Chains A and B, each alone.
Chain A
Amino acid sequence: MKAWLLLPLLLLLALAAQAAEPDARRSGRDTMSGALRTLQADDAQHPAQLALALGQELWAQGAKSCASCHGEPATLRGAAARYPASDQGLIDLPGRIQRCRVRHQQQPAWAPESEPLLALSALVAQQSRGLPLAPPRGAELDAAAARGQRLYTTRIGALNLSCAQCHDERAGLRLGGSLIPQAQVDDYPVYRLEWQSLGSLQRRLRGCLSGVRAKVWDWDSAELLALEVYLARRSTGMAMQPPGVRP
């Protein structure tokens, strides 16, 4: 074979091999029961509908309302898909909403996981429904993703477990009666039935940390943000369907 044919041929083969390999990633949605999938898919009975209605209200509230800069919530379609970001430090979607509130609305920041913050997170995230998760890249984010991956694969806590041991190695198996999900982050914020409320990814991570009896990192800590960056990359390309419902 002519030498100059080899390289394009190899490229073609590599592309073909990549295309042939199926995406083994499954959203937590797909491993839930039909009843819970219906709860998430039907806006008229979604458990987060009250929060979304509150979000709509808050969006338009006040002299310097979100609406006064952004117009309709739909103008933010695509925004939630591009978090976490790097902008004067690492920032996730709730963090961005808080920053807007403090800097542009001159209001005091909300407490973490407060009802209005979750309501607006749900409203903004909902605008990106159906879009693929597309977190940005760059030097700071790449470094954070590497840190996040190290945290993800390190054993922690009195139970001495790493995230990877459950969510990579044992996803699809059962812990007690519960199915272990892959821990994709496509549907946040989620209405978790266990919480009886909406909650952020950081809340879920903190819950896991206490579940393995590890030190629970603070809200917006470097560790939690690094994990969020890594997890968003791990779920890159998956279609978002926020707000989610999970058991």
Chain B
Amino acid sequence: MATRAVITLPVAIKAGEPFEVRATVAHAMETGYRSGDDGARLARDLVRRFECRLDGELVFAADLFAAISANPYLSFWLRANKPAELSFSWRGDNGFSHDETRRLNVA
């Protein structure tokens, strides 16, 4: 199962104009408060940190906690003046690590 994240960006972006970025990563965000079918407590397992970089520069970051829903969804607004590369990274418990990159089509 390879699909681990979905990122939504506008198809065409005007230089200097705000555009919305939406990013979701597949992760149960197990709070540590739930019990499994056998009654045993399911261990905490969370995505802890999300970072978005524009051509390598950190533009948006979020520290996530147990109160973020499963398959953490974040949306934010960026501005770009020229074609650029957006990179996304998620890091979490038990060595969770996922990265994505997208080319920004800026005109």
Chain A interface residues toward B at CB < 8 A: 44-45, 47, 49-50, 53-54, 56-57, 115-116, 196-197
Chain B interface residues toward A at CB < 8 A: 1-3, 5-6, 8, 22, 24, 26, 28, 69-71, 73, 75
Residue in B6, B22, B69 whose Cβ sees the most chain A Cβ within 10 Å: B6
Q: Are B6 and A53 in contact (CB under 8 A)?
A: yes
- With a cutoff of 8 Å between Cβ atoms, the chain A residues found around residue B70 in the complex are 196-197
- With a cutoff of 8 Å between Cβ atoms, the chain B residues found around residue A115 in the complex are 1
Q: Are B22 and A50 in contact (CB under 8 A)?
A: no
In the complex, the chain B residue whose C-beta lies closest to that of A43 is B8
Beyond known contacts A50-B3, A50-B26, A196-B69: 9 more, CB 8 A cutoff: A45-B22, A47-B71, A47-B73, A49-B24, A50-B5, A50-B71, A56-B3, A57-B3, A197-B70
Q: What are 18 A-B residue pairs whose CB atoms fall within 8 Å in the complex?
A: A44-B8, A44-B22, A45-B22, A45-B73, A47-B73, A49-B6, A49-B24, A50-B24, A53-B3, A53-B6, A54-B3, A56-B3, A57-B1, A57-B3, A115-B1, A116-B1, A196-B69, A196-B70
A57→B69 CA distance, assembly (Å): 24
- With a cutoff of 8 Å between Cβ atoms, the chain A residues found around residue B73 in the complex are 45, 47
A47→B70 CA distance, assembly (Å): 9
A198→B75 CA distance, assembly (Å): 22
A116→B2 CA distance, assembly (Å): 11
- With a cutoff of 8 Å between Cβ atoms, the chain B residues found around residue A50 in the complex are 3, 5-6, 24, 26, 71
In the complex, the chain B residue whose C-beta lies closest to that of A56 is B3
